Structure 1
């Protein structure tokens, strides 16, 4: 089972797929820092460093006999925190380079049977859904049927990280592994299957399909994952000594407290009153022109981000026995929130470690997709061609 990984980052899509025996035969990213982490963990025999647009002009490095392409393309222009330029933006628009590569591979009759895209949920609402619709239109023209599935990492790890996945299946096998939407059918029972698992496909997806019913739509009939029930305390590096330099000074601690609203200060005081330690995370956000420290105490971390500013790093609160301490989450804790094994190599530089994990995928989410969607499709194709 071979796959090629576009926008590979540090290799967390590979990490999830490899648990299901997929073999990565080609990977690409433009970041030298991410390549360094990738190579430390997986070697450099198949990693191509460079701009995807340059690669799209010369496909000689991409193997032909690949069943699956994956692409976690940049979310910068699609996320709420970004500039919302959508696929017209410089970074998120690199998806068009992947589509160009697919078109060239189609002409050579070497296109993959399945393509998996991953991005933020803002992809569904970017330009009122037209970016997502145009992506499906492109896949339709390339001979694929598309299902759009939404998954949140919080079902697998204690991190709120909703993401959207486009699963494009080649027309040669789509009718065998998907429920295809019939075009121009008034009484369409297809929607009953769509509505059976609302947590997997939201109203935003339904709106996109309803407004673009002439495109190639398919459904993969799967059940939503069951929540693991893991909490923030499960991923904390508990062996860090109190005097370790990561814990903040009294002045910095008091400054954080001063940035909390009265309601959040009360939450913290209630945590301090417990006869055990409990944990919460803090994000700094701008509210009415003021920098505010917002405390989350439900046992779940907010969505990890890359360290491009002070507000992007999550702060950890440990409270109990009448007191509290504060520090940043460590890169290893970031990795654990992404479902990454503890022997996965991380850069010694903390900012590089945050960057490696902050915009990566959650490994067990990919593993779930592999076990429930991609691997079954491969085995069906394998049997049909035997």
Structure 2
């Protein structure tokens, strides 16, 4: 008997990390029928890796864009996290940026799912979502999903427990439509907590451009000293190869908190414009490919743009390994011979 192919939509898609995790778990039993991502550089990276017969749509808040969404079974939505991040201002549903209230973009997910009633809604966000506004923001999200007719499951998981050496805690929300028998759904247990930075290091010496200049290194050290004097403890960090990385994030902090000592490169002639010379201590930032490995992306995944875009896109992305582990458990529920509550009740009466 031919297996059912579940139709999915990829909202706030970024570079496709959530989609990739679900495709790994579902194999050829899932088909993406709609993609939305407003950031054009991210669109280019997405298109370089996923070759769909349709165009990536932009602003999902527009009615004319939502009207293009075909029927679907699974909604994938990594809705923007800046409004809830522990590193940001945490304005939540009041956060406004470039005319778009990012904190309320979740409600666009709700609006779409209210119309199409998919079997599953999957969301990912920063851990700070759970405590924003003393938990009221998260309560509103779960209450909204329940009012739409869904059973809601949520858990904070750490990427380091799923085969990548990155200390990255995120909240994952899985909502099953009420007619789905999801009583057996569980979030995955840790699969592999043994990986270290040594497992994601580039195999060959990396180019000199990734090594810090001596002047930049002095600036970082002075910056950390100032913060330590104030009792803040903020600053750059050099990671041991047998350690795990801090969470990779957008901006310089994500790179500065995950520096490495790597003395394999012997040609330290500057290839970019820097102030001073390249440091002689072997201190460098991780490469985009190393970041990609920290997020569980395969080496075959293409990053067609300049490093500055790749770092941003990976810092904004998800850990594919975690998504895959959750998706496998979702698939187990959907694959039940009787996976409707109504059908189960009918069977019980016979």
- TM-score normalized with structure 1 length: 0.73
Question: Where do 1:293-372 residues align within 5 Å?
Answer: 293-297=236-240, 299-307=243-251, 310-314=252-256, 315-318=258-261, 324-372=281-329
Shift of 1:370: 1.0
Shift of 1:256: 3.8
Shift of 1:121: 0.9
Match of 1:141 among 147, 155, 166: 147
Report how many aligned residue pairs link the two structures: 310
The equivalent of 1:77 in structure 2 is 83
Question: Where do 1:232-311 residues align within 5 Å?
Answer: 232-241=197-206, 244-260=208-224, 292-297=235-240, 299-307=243-251, 310-311=252-253
Q: Structure 2: how far apart are the matches of 1:58 and 1:253? A: 47
**RMSD of Structure 2 on Structure 1 (CA):** 2.7
362-371 or 347-356: bigger deviation: 347-356
The equivalent of 1:88 in structure 2 is 94
Q: Indicate conservation of the 8 Å contact 1:77/1:87, yes or no.
A: yes
Query: Are 1:98 and 2:109 counterparts?
Result: yes
Q: Indicate conservation of the 8 Å contact 2:159/2:168, yes or no.
A: yes
Question: Where do 1:161-180 residues align within 5 Å?
Answer: 161-173=168-180, 176-178=181-183
The equivalent of 2:331 in structure 1 is 375
Q: Structure 1: how far apart are the matches of 2:42 and 2:229? A: 30
Question: Where do 1:179-218 residues align within 5 Å?
Answer: none
Q: Indicate conservation of the 8 Å contact 2:224/2:233, yes or no.
A: no
Match of 1:42 among 21, 45, 50: 50
Secondary structure, aligned partner of 2:167: coil
Secondary structure, aligned partner of 1:292: coil
Tell me which protein shows more strand as a share of its residues: 1
The equivalent of 2:156 in structure 1 is 150
Q: Structure 2: how far apart are the matches of 1:161 and 1:379? A: 30
Shift of 1:170: 0.6
Q: Structure 1: how far apart are the matches of 2:337 and 2:87? A: 40
Q: Which runs of 5+ in 1 are unaligned?
A: 106-110, 180-219, 263-283
The equivalent of 1:199 in structure 2 is none
Query: Are 1:13 and 2:18 counterparts?
Result: yes
More contact order relative to length (CA 8 Å, sep ≥ 6): 2
Q: Indicate conservation of the 8 Å contact 1:285/1:294, yes or no.
A: no
Secondary structure, aligned partner of 2:210: coil
Counterparts in 2 of 1:348 and 1:286: CA distance versus 1, 3 Å: farther
Q: Indicate conservation of the 8 Å contact 2:333/2:339, yes or no.
A: no
Counterparts in 2 of 1:5 and 1:330: CA distance versus 1, 3 Å: same
Q: Indicate conservation of the 8 Å contact 2:263/2:282, yes or no.
A: no
Q: Structure 2: how far apart are the matches of 1:8 and 1:49? A: 10
Counterparts in 2 of 1:293 and 1:240: CA distance versus 1, 3 Å: same
Shift of 1:221: 3.4
Q: Structure 1: how far apart are the matches of 2:62 and 2:228? A: 38
Q: Indicate conservation of the 8 Å contact 1:78/1:86, yes or no.
A: yes
Match of 2:120 among 114, 123, 126: 114
Shift of 1:102: 1.8
